[in-house]
Amino acid sequence: MITTYRYICYVLASSILLSGCSATRFNDLFSSYYQQMQPVKTAQSQGKYQQALKLLPNRSQSNNAYNLSLLEHGRLQFLAKQIKPSQDSLAHAYQVISDEQEKAKIQLSRGVENAAAIVSNDSATRYIVPPYEQTMLHSYQALNYLSENKLSSALVEVRRANLVQEQALRSNNAKLYKAEQNMAKHGVSMNSLSSKYPSMQTTIGEVKNGFQNAYTFYLSGLLYEAGGQKNDAYIDYKKALEIFPDNSILQQEVWRLANQLSMVDDIARYKQSFNINENDHKTNSGNLIVITEHGIIENKSEFSLNLPIFTSHDDMRFYSFSVPTYKNYLRNYAPVSINYQGKHYQSEEIVRLQSLAAFQLKEQMPATIARQIARIIAKEEIRQQLSRKGGDVGNILAGLYNITTEQADTRSWSTLPDKVEIMKLALAPGQHKIELDIGGAKKAVEVTINQQANTLLYVTAIGSQSQLRVFNL
């Protein structure tokens, strides 16, 4: 009997040790990321960014969510206007992500992590930063460099953001097909999954994929123009317009540069579809560009699926397991507006990060289900072994372990904004005192407008809290 108990303890202890020994990693195994981040997001929503930083879980470099921890720190440090610490956190995150991608190419480093996931849950694997989060990493880093008037460094970051989107576009379909094939081997089709999995269509909206971010293309266009690279700016404005064709500010930017660069074919095509006021492009004026980020992105939540699965013995059984999902709704935000010199201006949406996140999760679901199936089969094998060796005691202990470790992986960059909007005002060169209406609250700011140049006003609006930053490009 003692030998039997030793065997039971050995199997269960080995399963836990595969996930790591630290207190934080043990907590990750039994407590969801969503739960751990709630106090942080509460402080963030109240504008208490220093407190939010202190509440972030302390993760070592060996932790599976270390890269994510760096992103959370970088974002909150950005909000707290700790420019150098934010730069360091985001630069370190970029290096960690790059190293992980190189390791993944040779498929060596993930062996132990996948073994851990087989006997616990996806939280035991290294967090893979999705493309939309990587683009935001580089966008915030570009803004950090702008705060130090380092335009060349900011341009490096927007090029990296664009490269992320290009690579995702090339590899996305192949990854999705492979995941669907792995899932189908165990008798689970996309149709059966869709009928069981909760809809996120309202959250996804009209987004076509989970990685193309019109905001990062627009930001890169602004920076390319600041650097005198009008052809590169034109290309990225056009990319942003392809994603958000109804955005009138993007239409204005594309139309303006098409004329300046004598893009005859584009001019003829856009003239038919754009409603452009020629007076908006006076050569002696400058521009105030207002970029506003609204709210905080929602966390993933858990949902229990019950699906028929073919086991390793080729018999079909119904199994229940937890998967991540997003709530099927989007928050409403009042556009930022400005009344100035007899004109009314209003911000327009350029990206809904919540929609990108939901679409990304939807596309990841076949791979998530395939891993869950492998995990269920492995856990069932362990349960049977313990049942044979330890009888009812082994069966009960294995069941308890399976219940406590069966949770969805709810990790994501949880401190990002929900939505980003843009606005543009053509103004005479000189000093201007502008009053913004941000969700009913008035906020005044003085800006300097230079001839034929852009001044960027970056607004963060979270609940009743707002902050402004001004960059002369």
Query: Cα dist. 451→89, 221, 286, 344, 350 in Å?
Result: 36, 18, 5, 22, 26
SS3 state at 455: strand
Is the full-model pTM beyond 0.95?
no
- Within 13 A of 243's CA, how many CA atoms are on the CB side? 23
Q: What is the pLDDT of residue 211?
A: 84
CA distance 372 to 378: 10
CA atoms within 13 A on the CB side of 60: 8
What pLDDT, on a 0 to 100 scale, did the predictor assign at position 112? 47
User: What is the per-residue pLDDT for 19?
Assistant: 47
CA distance 156 to 163: 11
Weakest mean pLDDT among 230-239, 316-325, 370-379, 431-440:
370-379
| Contacts for 462 with CB less than 8 Å, ≥ 6 apart | 44, 45, 47, 294, 295, 296, 417
Q: What is the pLDDT of residues 121-160, one digit of tens each?
A: 667 788 999 999 999 999 999 999 999 999 999 999 999 9
pLDDT grade for 386, boundaries at 50, 70 and 90: low
* pLDDT band per the 50, 70, 90 thresholds, residue 193: low
3-state DSSP assignment of residue 210: coil
**Which positions ≥6 away from 206 have C-beta within 8 Å?**
none
N-to-C CA span, the chain: 76
| Token reading at 303 | 């949902």
Question: What pLDDT does residue 12 have?
Answer: 47
Whether residue 459 has pLDDT greater than 80: yes
Region 280-298: mean pLDDT is 88
The pLDDT of 424-447, averaged and rounded, is 95
Which strands make up the sheet holding 343-346, listed edge to edge? 343-346, 337-340, 430-438, 441-449
Mean pLDDT of 5-10: 47
How many CB atoms lie under 10 A from the CB of residue 370?
20
Largest distance between two CA atoms of the chain: 90
